[in-house]
Structure 1
Amino acid sequence: MDTFLRDAVTTVVTLSLNELIVLSHGKHLRSSTGIFQEKDTTNKPSEKKTGSGVELLAKSNLPIATLNEIKLNNELKKLIDIYIETMEELQNTGTIETLLATINQQIAKNKEQDKVIQEHNSSTLVLKNLKTKLTDFKSEAEEKLLKASETLNILKSDWRIISKVNELEYELVKKWEHTRFTQAVVVGEKEEENLEKMYAKFVAKTNTEQRVIFDFEAFSRRQFDKYSDMIEMWKKKYSTELSKLLINIKEKENKIKEVNKTYKKHYEIFCKRKMFIKEYMEQKAEQNRLYQLQMLRIQSAVKIQAWWRGLMVRRCLGPFRKKTKKNKKGKKSK
Structure 2
Amino acid sequence: MEMSIGSKSTAGFSATVCEVVLEVLQECADSLAVYQNILRQQSTIEDDDATNIFPNVKISETSILQTLARGAAEMTDSRREAAREKLLQDSLYVSSIIEDLKREISEHGTIDVLIKEIERITSQEEQEHLLIEENESMQIIVAELRKAIADKKTANEKEEERLTKKLTLTRDEKEKLKLIKDVEIKYVRVWEAARREQYVLRYELKMDELKKTLNDHCVRERNENHVNDVLMRYLTRRIALIETRIEQWRQRYDREKKMYEKEIRKVRNEIGNAQKYLEELTTEYCNNQEFIDTYLAEQEALRRQKEHEDHVRLSIIKMQAWWRGVMVRRKLGPYRSEEKKKKKSIKTKK
Q: TM-score, normalised by structure 2?
A: 0.28
Larger Rg: 2
| Greater RCO (CA < 8 Å, at least 6 residues apart) | 2
